[in-house]
Chains A and B, each alone.
Chain A
Amino acid sequence: MKIVHSWLTDLVPVGDDVPAIAETLTDLGLTVDGIDEVGATVDGVITARVLRAESHPDAAKIHRVFVDTGDGRERHVWCGAFNMRAGDVVPLATPGTVMPDGRRIEPKPILSIASDGMLCSARELGLGDDHAGILILPEGTRLGVPYGEALGLHRETVYDLDVTRNLPDCFGHRGVARQLGARLGVAVVDQPDVDGLFHEGRVAPVEIVAGERCGRFTTFVITGVRVGASPDWIASRLTAAGMRPINNVVDVSNYVMLECNQPNHAYDLDTLGGGGFRIRLAGDGEQLTTLDGAVHTLTGDDLLICDAHDTPIGLAGIMGGLDTEISEATTTIALEIAWFEPIGVAVSARRRGLRSEASLRFERGVDPGNGIPSAAARFVELLRLTCPDLRCEGAADETAGATRPGHREIHTSAARINARLGTELSAEEMAALIRPLGMPTTVEASGAMVVLPPSYRPDILETVDVAEEVARQYGYGRIGRAVPNSTMHGRLSVVQARRRQLRQVLLGLGISEAMPNPFLAEHDLARAGLDGPVVRIVNSLVADESVLRTSLRPGLLKAVAFNQSHRRSGARLYEIGHVYPPGDGELPDEHEMLGVVLAGEPAPAAVDVWRQLVAAMGFGARLDQSVVPPGLHPTRAATLTLGKQVIGVVGEVHPDVLDASGIDDRVAVVELDLSVLLTQEPKVPTWKPTSRFPSSDLDLAFVTPDSVIAEKVDKAIRQAAGTLLVDLALFDVYRGPGVPDGSRSLAYRLRLQAPDRTLTEVDVAAVRDRAETALRKLGASLRG
């Protein structure tokens, strides 16, 4: 919202300390995002009339222009633009002028003929983007005066305000003035008297058909209108506020909107069908061409303003129809000011893709009360400046059933408000803060308060809303600061603490943290060899990001491929993140996973990471190679199971998936369901006394068929060795000469120790025999 300083201070005379005003506005919650100076003019540029132009035989791209600045002296300039004719008034930058781009105008001769200055384009003067030719000023412009003065340009300071939704009245200068005046103790100037508005005479009658969407619709018939230019100051302020001046009627309409936050429209009553209005919902498929030339096919939820013949002339609260603009011939207007139900306007504007200054305001809520006649009175007051014969005739004021914000008293108390704010203000102090906002407040000795919110503040409904206004005016910065005494113990939950521990373990393994996009393209999962149902995004902006991931793997593989393409082929990455497969409940089966990828490494690297995590985190699960996880290498991957539940996978990515992902080398992966594993509390180890007696090592190598997995051999040895076994290490796996095909030699070192005695050779031999017997049952034989 652009607030013009001169306009604001007309309404509330608070002086010209712009930075201080900006700071106060920000402190009131009307955040000043910027302060702009507009309408600045270039010194030394004056108006001049073109007398004649001559070409020069040696110059093709420029010509000689002779101008008069009103002193009767003929001045000569070289000029590269040809759009002016004799008699045109143009801006002349006299020698010595410094242009906004820093150029200094010098009487530099061309072809030995001096140039007495330079004619300027609009862009050169900072008046717009037009650089096609020299700026032609209006006919009758005085000569020899600064062009800014001739154009009625005023230097204006503009505050760029970020106005929040709960302050709809601050979409008008008057609302901002009210907040500022209340804070600074300066009264806001009165609105013009509304008494002169209502006379006998011609009326533009109103029929509200859709009462649930239109709460009030008021028309004022005004005669004696003469369409022409606006006074300079109105044009200047509108320009500064970002609106283009058009003519006195349209400009006053816009001015009133920007001042009073009351969108309004002036119709030519003589061309208005039937001379009246009907407010109704559109029929499905009904068409309307709006002011901007767009044709809209409407639905039954769009609200229309129609003429008395039921012909649509505007999309209510959003934009007028193409044929409703007043013309130069207009002498009698019907000024319309209305209140439309905010959500209806918002929904309709969004559906139509139309946002206008009017819809912006109706969506937030305009004043359905006294603001309407006041705005009309202001309209009349301003238009009378250019139309001295202006006369108000009849007014029509229809209301309907839509819920309008109105005068609903709020019963509260100083104690309740202080309890919200942590202040110790009296009821009277609070009342003094909010009364200037147009909130009559009665105070009782008990501290009870009755607050009457104004109709232009639809957001104020209950005590907490009053508290906010008190705090806003009092100043958030003046409210004390106290740290509440937390009676909770600050700490992480078990899952959170274990998640952090897991991260540290992974970082210690040289694995860095990635954060891939949780959105995938439709084909990404299939490309990773994963399928199954997914949850799709309905309104994704990008087709490549329309599916919620059900696995971390596709994202991590993309990261591997990306790094490989930047000559970093050995990426070791992990992600801890959510996956979102569909579920049975109200929400998808969202849960947290760990994904690890080790680029350029085979499956054992993944097993190593898993075993490190088991050791560090106390994770427990069974590695089951009999079930091949989808998308992984069929002979180099395993599922991790806990009971019957699959809680992860470990292994190598399927070569087909690598090919499809554009990855050149093997990729080892570990994926773990953290929603299960992090909630497992590791067992607290209980003490076992360390033996004081010497240990004996026993090395045994077993020729074992490939079909018997090492884990099974481990288990058999452990059982055979019994309680004497304190450590078991598989230290060598050998395939080759001396070992039959289809078998390999597994070499174990068993460390044996008794808690209460030194072992004898008999003890060791017994273990050896038991192990050999057990292994023979598995088809393995003791080697050599």
Chain B
Amino acid sequence: MMLDHVATALREALVRVEAASSTAELRAAETELLGKRGPFAQFKAQLGALASPADKRDGGRALNEATQRVSAALAARRADLAAAERAIQLEAERLDLTEVRIAPRRGHAHIVTQAWERLEDVFIGLGFQVAEGPEVETDWYNFEALNTPPNHPARSEHDTFYLDYGTPGSTLLRTHTSPVQIRVMQTLTPPIYMVMPGRVFRNETADATHLAVFHQIEGLVVDRGITLAHLAGTIEAFTKAFFGDGFTSRLRPSYFPFTEPSGEFDIRTPRGDWLEIGGCGMVHPNVIRAGGLDPEEWSGFAFGFGIDRMAKERHGVGDVREMYSNDLRFLEQF
């Protein structure tokens, strides 16, 4: 008799669980079905009144089984409802992520700085350190120590800015980074493997390819037994490291007062074009001497070229003046 009631209650309970359409309803159903006043609790209370031990045992077993089945059904239904409700919630939270228009908060490094740092990195990889020097220089460091005495004709090619500082003609804005060579030799004991990037000045009217204020990087090696072949090898290594494996370099004779022999170096693009890059040469014995070193003991090479030019070529800038316009429309392109 009781078993029939339990079976009926179980059927009804399972229907009830299945019918719950929300977790709230399910919670209510759970309380009603399995709570103290629920049908199974009542059956359990009636168990004690049963006479036959066999009936007690069978009834207890049936009750256990029923409550377990109800619990399992509740858990399954709960999971289903939770999943459905989570699905509704997720759908309700849908966002169009392409609507997001928060302006990127990233500054733009100047392309000259970018080129400058790339060049430094390449030379650091070749075992060089980086030296810097003042932009305002004495005539001695900028010219005389570089084997360019007063009235040397090469001076007239430099279009120098002179400053009203100290005795007239003694102070100027450096026309190249080469004075740092002298400062490095004066302060360091060889071996010296240094690059010297920096700002330089020429007193000329700016146009699309020339500026009065621009940037150069200079290299200086002073060691025992340094030869022109070492210069050529270093230029080639730099060419490959900076421009890429498809590029090669060449040296051809040129003239600078501070190097002897002197050269220009060009690089050849994979397409076969030659680009003139910069000047180089074996440091002149007079320059080694000006640096406080003995040219019989130490020899070296130096090279230099424009950083702005590297930036200009890399990004195809048509007019170098625009690089210094400080126009955000320019700066933010890079």
Do these two chains really belong together in a complex? yes
**Residues of A with Cβ closer than 8 Å to B?**
26-29, 31, 164-167, 342-343, 346-347, 350, 363-364, 419-423, 462, 464-465, 467-468, 471-472, 476-477, 479-493, 496, 500, 503, 506-519, 535-541, 545, 548, 558-559, 562-563, 566, 568, 571-574, 577-578, 580, 582, 586-588, 590
With A29-B254, A479-B232 known as contacts, the answer to whether A465 contacts B260 (CB < 8 A) is yes
Instruction: Pick the contact of B110: A486, A491, A515, A539 (CB < 8 A).
Output: A515
A513 close to B110 (CB less than 8 A): yes
With A512-B331, A514-B331, A540-B161 known as contacts, the answer to whether A481 contacts B113 (CB < 8 A) is no
Instruction: Pick the contact of B129: A31, A467, A493 (CB < 8 A).
Output: A493
A507 close to B106 (CB less than 8 A): yes
Say whether B23 faces chain A, with CB atoms less than 8 Å apart. Answer: no
A690 to chain B, nearest CB (A): 31
Q: How far is the CA of A535 from the CA of B154 in the complex (A)?
A: 26
Q: Which 4 A-B residue pairs are closest in the complex by CB-CB distance?
A: A422-B229, A29-B253, A486-B127, A422-B227
Beyond A164-B255, A490-B124, 18 extra complex contacts between A and B, CB < 8 Å: A166-B262, A167-B255, A419-B227, A420-B228, A464-B260, A467-B261, A481-B236, A482-B229, A484-B193, A488-B191, A492-B129, A507-B107, A512-B328, A515-B324, A536-B164, A545-B212, A563-B327, A586-B138
A486 close to B126 (CB less than 8 A): yes
Chain B residues, Cβ within 8 Å of A539: 161-162, 203
Q: Nearest chain-A residue to B124 (Cβ)?
A: A490
A342 close to B153 (CB less than 8 A): yes
Interface centre among B171, B203, B213, B227, by most chain A C-beta atoms within 10 angstroms, is B227
B229 close to A481 (CB less than 8 A): yes
With A27-B252, A548-B163 known as contacts, the answer to whether A484 contacts B233 (CB < 8 A) is yes
Chain A residues, Cβ within 8 Å of B137: 587
Q: Which of B36-44, B63-71, B218-226 contacts A (4 or more CB under 8 A)?
A: B218-226
Q: How far is the CA of A613 from the CA of B260 in the complex (A)?
A: 47
Q: Nearest chain-A residue to B132 (Cβ)?
A: A496
Say whether B272 faces chain A, with CB atoms less than 8 Å apart. Answer: no
B153 close to A29 (CB less than 8 A): no
Say whether B57 faces chain A, with CB atoms less than 8 Å apart. Answer: no
Q: Nearest chain-B residue to A539 (Cβ)?
A: B162
Q: How far is the CA of A566 from the CA of B329 in the complex (A)?
A: 9
Q: How far is the CA of A582 from the CA of B165 in the complex (A)?
A: 8
Say whether B156 faces chain A, with CB atoms less than 8 Å apart. Answer: yes
A516 close to B105 (CB less than 8 A): no
Chain A residues, Cβ within 8 Å of B107: 506-513, 572, 574
Chain B residues, Cβ within 8 Å of A419: 225, 227, 299
Q: Nearest chain-A residue to B112 (Cβ)?
A: A515
Q: How far is the CA of A27 from the CA of B263 in the complex (A)?
A: 10
Chain A residues, Cβ within 8 Å of B329: 566, 568
B149 to chain A, nearest CB (A): 9
Q: How far is the CA of A513 from the CA of B106 in the complex (A)?
A: 11
Chain A residues, Cβ within 8 Å of B203: 539-541
A488 close to B232 (CB less than 8 A): no
Chain A residues, Cβ within 8 Å of B262: 164, 166, 468
A343 close to B153 (CB less than 8 A): yes
A513 close to B331 (CB less than 8 A): yes
Chain A residues, Cβ within 8 Å of B229: 421-423, 479-482
Q: How far is the CA of A57 from the CA of B230 in the complex (A)?
A: 83
Q: List B273-328 residues whose CB lies under 8 Å from chain A.
A: 282, 284-285, 299, 323-328
A483 close to B237 (CB less than 8 A): yes
- Can you list 30 A-B pairs with a CB-CB distance of less than 8 A? A28-B253, A164-B253, A166-B255, A346-B151, A363-B153, A364-B153, A421-B227, A423-B229, A467-B282, A471-B228, A476-B228, A477-B252, A483-B234, A484-B234, A485-B127, A488-B129, A507-B106, A508-B107, A513-B107, A513-B108, A514-B110, A515-B110, A515-B323, A517-B324, A535-B164, A537-B161, A562-B326, A568-B328, A578-B199, A582-B165
Chain A residues, Cβ within 8 Å of B223: 484, 487
Instruction: Pick the contact of A510: B105, B130, B162, B199 (CB < 8 A).
Output: B105
A29 close to B324 (CB less than 8 A): no
What is the size, in residues, of chain B's interface with A at 8 Å between Cβ atoms? 85
A482 close to B230 (CB less than 8 A): yes
Q: List B138-176 residues whose CB lies under 8 Å from chain A.
A: 138, 151-154, 156, 161-166, 168, 171, 173
Chain B residues, Cβ within 8 Å of A493: 129-130
Q: How far is the CA of A419 from the CA of B230 in the complex (A)?
A: 11
Chain B residues, Cβ within 8 Å of A578: 134-135, 199
Q: How far is the CA of A479 from the CA of B250 in the complex (A)?
A: 11
With A364-B153, A513-B331 known as contacts, the answer to whether A464 contacts B284 (CB < 8 A) is yes
Chain B residues, Cβ within 8 Å of A489: 127, 129
A653 to chain B, nearest CB (A): 17
A587 to chain B, nearest CB (A): 5
With A517-B213, A538-B163 known as contacts, the answer to whether A500 contacts B129 (CB < 8 A) is no
Chain B residues, Cβ within 8 Å of A512: 107-109, 328, 331-332
B238 to chain A, nearest CB (A): 10
Q: Nearest chain-A residue to B301 (Cβ)?
A: A484
B299 close to A486 (CB less than 8 A): no
Q: How far is the CA of A463 from the CA of B167 in the complex (A)?
A: 37
Say whether B117 faces chain A, with CB atoms less than 8 Å apart. Answer: yes
Q: How far is the CA of A703 from the CA of B235 in the complex (A)?
A: 69
Instruction: Pick the contact of B228: A343, A479, A483, A537 (CB < 8 A).
Output: A479
Chain B residues, Cβ within 8 Å of A582: 165
With A346-B151, A559-B326 known as contacts, the answer to whether A590 contacts B136 (CB < 8 A) is yes
With A468-B262, A484-B223 known as contacts, the answer to whether A541 contacts B120 (CB < 8 A) is no
Say whether B185 faces chain A, with CB atoms less than 8 Å apart. Answer: no
With A31-B264, A363-B153 known as contacts, the answer to whether A422 contacts B228 (CB < 8 A) is yes
Chain A residues, Cβ within 8 Å of B152: 343
A119 to chain B, nearest CB (A): 41
Q: How far is the CA of A576 from the CA of B312 in the complex (A)?
A: 21
Instruction: Pick the contact of A518: B213, B237, B251 (CB < 8 A).
Output: B213
- Please encode chain B, from 190 to 212, with 1 for each CB lying within 8 Å of some chain A CB and 0 for all others: 01110000010001110000001
Q: Nearest chain-A residue to B257 (Cβ)?
A: A165
Q: Nearest chain-B residue to A519 (Cβ)?
A: B213
Chain B residues, Cβ within 8 Å of A566: 327-329
A584 to chain B, nearest CB (A): 11
With A29-B253, A510-B105 known as contacts, the answer to whether A490 contacts B125 (CB < 8 A) is yes
Q: Nearest chain-B residue to A345 (Cβ)?
A: B153
Instruction: Pick the contact of A492: B109, B112, B130, B221 (CB < 8 A).
Output: B130
Q: How far is the CA of A331 from the CA of B131 in the complex (A)?
A: 68
Q: Nearest chain-B residue to A486 (Cβ)?
A: B127
B326 close to A477 (CB less than 8 A): no
Chain A residues, Cβ within 8 Å of B126: 483, 486, 490
B113 close to A503 (CB less than 8 A): yes
With A462-B285, A488-B191 known as contacts, the answer to whether A538 contacts B162 (CB < 8 A) is yes
Q: How far is the CA of A477 from the CA of B254 in the complex (A)?
A: 13
Q: How far is the CA of A493 from the CA of B120 in the complex (A)?
A: 12
Chain B residues, Cβ within 8 Å of A496: 120, 130, 132
Q: How far is the CA of A283 from the CA of B122 in the complex (A)?
A: 59
Say whether B247 faces chain A, with CB atoms less than 8 Å apart. Answer: no
A482 close to B233 (CB less than 8 A): yes
A577 to chain B, nearest CB (A): 8
Chain B residues, Cβ within 8 Å of A558: 326
B165 close to A535 (CB less than 8 A): yes
B236 to chain A, nearest CB (A): 5
Q: Nearest chain-A residue to B191 (Cβ)?
A: A487
Q: How far is the CA of A587 from the CA of B134 in the complex (A)?
A: 9
Q: How far is the CA of A488 from the CA of B205 in the complex (A)?
A: 41
Instruction: Pick the contact of B282: A420, A485, A500, A563 (CB < 8 A).
Output: A420
A588 close to B151 (CB less than 8 A): no
A503 close to B261 (CB less than 8 A): no
With A487-B191, A491-B129, A580-B136 known as contacts, the answer to whether A563 contacts B328 (CB < 8 A) is yes
Chain A residues, Cβ within 8 Å of B124: 490-492
Q: How far is the CA of A548 from the CA of B172 in the complex (A)?
A: 11
Q: Nearest chain-A residue to B331 (Cβ)?
A: A512
Chain A residues, Cβ within 8 Å of B230: 422, 482-484
Q: Nearest chain-A residue to B162 (Cβ)?
A: A538
